[in-house]
């Protein structure tokens, strides 16, 4: 398999974690986002959104959108599972994952922050990024009201943890106050103790700067 990504992309980071959890190897191809390499015509032919990641499967199929890739990985390589078996439990895990993947991450990506910077300058962009992470993760902490740990939803990491850990990297980078989230940071610590998460971290990728 080939994973088109970038060390700092939260969405590519999610897929790296899942590949590691499943014990799958993928050759990484890096696209430097600030240099807009993801907008090159050859890459747009694979991924018309011009986003990373894209996963090329062993049969040559082209998969885009990190959450669709995660669900595909889970359906085709079921062990260990990324989702619980019971539909209600699956819905809670997915809701948490989407609270990050829909309502936080895309609202603070490079492209959106560049537009905010045009309107309000550097300070406005920094404040936007901090606030989107802080408000969004405040809600995530509140979504875990029945939390028992160590992971978001019980004894094993799921899609929820796979979305959370990369987002906390952004939250920290953008200056959010992490002491607001005792549950989320405890979960992060539990995840980081696992090789699947540690090996997927941005600083451990070949294209890390």
- Which residues on adjacent β-strands are paired with residue 3? 28, 55
Residues 32-51 that bind its own copies (CB under 8 A): 44, 48-51
Listed residue (61, 52, 35, 26) closest to 43, CA to CA = 52
Residue 153 to residues 31, 91, 93, 180: CA-CA distances in angstroms?
A: 33, 11, 7, 19
The binding track of 114-153 with respect to its own copies, each residue x by CB under 8 A or -, is -xx--xx---x---x----------x--xx-x--------
Instruction: Round to whole Å and give the CA distance between 191 and 146.
Output: 19
- Give the residue, chosen from 1, 24, 90, 207, that forms a contact with its own copies under the rule CB under 8 A: 90
- Helix, strand or coil, per DSSP, at residue 129: helix
State the minimum distance, in angstroms, from the CB of residue 208 to its own copies: 25
Count CA within 13 A, CB hemisphere, residue 183: 19
Nearer of residues 35 and 145 to its own copies, judged by Cβ: 145
Tokens of 23: 């014990």
- Give the residue, chosen from 102, 110, 193, 208, that forms a contact with its own copies under the rule CB under 8 A: 102
The strand ranges marked E within the chain are: 2-5, 27-30, 54-56, 62-64
The binding track of 150-189 with respect to its own copies, each residue x by CB under 8 A or -, is ----------------------------------------
Tokens of 75: 């359906």
Nearer of residues 16 and 194 to its own copies, judged by Cβ: 16
- Which residues on adjacent β-strands are paired with residue 2? 27, 56
Q: Which spans of this chain sit near its own copies (rule: CB under 8 A)?
A: 44, 48-51, 57, 61, 63-65, 67-69, 71-72, 75-76, 87-88, 90-92, 94-95, 98-99, 101-103, 105-107, 112, 115-116, 119-120, 124, 128, 139, 142-143, 145
């Amino acid at each position: 398999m080939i994973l088109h990504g970038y060390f700092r992309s939260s969405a590519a980071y999610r897929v790296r974690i899942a590949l590691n959890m499943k014990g799958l190897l993928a050759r990484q191809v890096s696209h430097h986002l600030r240099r807009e390499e993801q907008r090159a015509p050859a890459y747009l032919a694979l991924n018309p959104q011009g986003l990373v990641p894209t996963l090329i499967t062993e049969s040559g199929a082209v998969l885009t959108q990190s959450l669709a890739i995660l669900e595909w990985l889970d359906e085709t390589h079921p062990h260990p599972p990324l989702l619980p078996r019971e539909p209600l439990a699956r819905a809670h895990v997915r809701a948490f994952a989407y609270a990050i993947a829909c309502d936080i991450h895309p609202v603070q990506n490079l492209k959106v922050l560049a537009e905010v910077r045009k309107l309000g300058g550097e300070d406005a962009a920094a404040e936007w990024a901090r606030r989107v992470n802080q408000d969004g993760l405040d809600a995530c902490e509140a979504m875990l009201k029945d939390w028992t740990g160590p992971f978001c939803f019980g004894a094993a990491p799921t899609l929820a943890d796979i979305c959370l850990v990369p987002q906390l990297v952004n939250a920290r980078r953008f200056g959010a106050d992490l002491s607001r989230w005792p549950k989320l940071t405890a979960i992060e610590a539990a995840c980081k103790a696992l090789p699947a998460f540690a090996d997927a971290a941005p600083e451990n990728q070949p294209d890390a700067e």
